[in-house]
Amino acid sequence: MKPYKEMSKEELTSLKAELEKQFEDAKGKGLTLDMSRGKPTPAQLDMTMGIMDVLNSESDMKTESGMDTRNYGLMDGIPEAKKLMGDMMGVPAENVIVYGNASLTIMYDTVARAMLHGVLGSTPWCKLDKVKFLCPAPGYDRHFKITESFGIEMITIPMTPTGPDMDLVEKYVAEDPAVKGIWCVPKYSNPQGISYSDETVRRFAALKPAAEDFRIYWDNAYAIHHLYDDEQDQILEILSECEKAGNPDMVYEFCSTSKVSFSGAGISAFASSKVNLEEAKKTMTVQTIGHDKVNQLRHVKYFKNLDGMLAHMKKHADILRPKFEAVLDVLDKELSGLEIGSWSKPRGGYFISFDAMEGCAKAIVAKCKEAGVVLTGAGATFPYGKDPKDSNIRIAPSYPTPEEMAAATDLFVLCVKLVSVEKLLAA
């Protein structure tokens, strides 16, 4: 079929009637599928159940150094867990603090600490007239919710195939002392699946901030989340790059095992320079006696080391890959050449990013919901939930089965076609 934009009004009207009939038929199928969040499927969670058996009432609950994980102490994490999470990020264990189950909690706390107490002696953000954050978009909606909740002004930075638009990043960071941070998902980004190029990482490390308390919030959520054995993205390690560039304190790195072990019962970690870690620990001593060291020990005993984690992640990939391919097959087959949408083909992570014709995303999401398929709200991948082009839609293929994903994508492309035809006819 030729591109929709080349069709006559009569052709589009005829096509609209045909698509509307197909849509009514689709509604009659009674689909109820949720593709709004990147939740692991029960099969992935079942795959990790062995972690429950590595400790029991007869187990030695001590660390290798003899510390009892059931008791107080080791507020910044047991040494074995610091090494495991450090290896996952590619940083030394001495640069790591291990927290509870969610890295999002660490990110929230890190922003809250800067708001209330400042960063390494600088003025607390709450006492400043204006605080700004750079937000590469499409991006992770929960990042934007954190900064929005504190009243921080968010500035959208367009994403490119190699990462954020670094010309814009460098300009804002160098010229505006109110710019205090930038959100980054550097590997298999949410939702586009983009991995930052070596040049992008080096440019980040070499930033010359007008604000002494500017920090890069480096959410390495998908560090080992590859979909393919033979096609795996690799990125430069940001802490060492910052050190080489003379900016050792400029980055906060976050990660977790939320999509490695159990989403609700993993472990998370924070990596940074020694002075940044010491500052974080000062707040921790007031905030907590310590995080769940028994769970940290459980993870170490189950995975043993990075090789154990990587082997485990191959099993995850075997479950996820057919779902991604089911979506991409339908998109390629049904939409290629019609010029009404484009989509990412990620090699890792948890999402596929779809860009519809301008002004169509909200209508497509609403149509899908009407027929029983729930997608992430249109605009969620932008600050304040406002996509200026009303174009981007995040697809989360992880939870449904491959067959369900194919059925849901059939409906999705039908909605894309119908809304695109309506848009063209209205124009």
Architecture label for domain 4-44+310-426: Alpha-Beta Complex (3.90)
Query: What is the amino acid identity at position 62?
Result: K
- The highest-level CATH class for domain 61-304 is alpha beta
Are 183 and 140 a contacting pair, CB within 8 Å?
yes
Residue 291's identity, in one-letter code, is: H
Burial of 56 (0-12, 13-18, 19+ CB in 10 A): exposed
pLDDT on residue 157:
98
| Closest residue by Cα to residue 368 from 358, 378, 383 | 378
Cα end-to-end distance, the chain, whole Å: 21
**Domain positions in the chain:** 4-44+310-426, 61-304
What pTM was estimated for this model as a whole?
A: 0.96
Tell me what percent of the residues of the chain surpass a pLDDT of 70: 100
Beta-bridge mates of residue 136: 157
Summarize pLDDT for 203-253 with one digit per residue, the tens. Answer: 999 999 999 999 999 999 999 999 999 999 999 999 999 999 999 999 999
Give 372-407 pLDDT, tens digit per residue.
999 999 999 999 999 999 999 999 999 999 999 999
- As a whole number of angstroms, the distance between CA 226 and CA 195 comes to 11
- In this structure, are residues 374 and 39 in contact, taking their beta carbons and an 8 Å threshold? no
Give whole-number Cα distances, 75 to 85, 133, 257, in Å.
Answer: 16, 30, 19
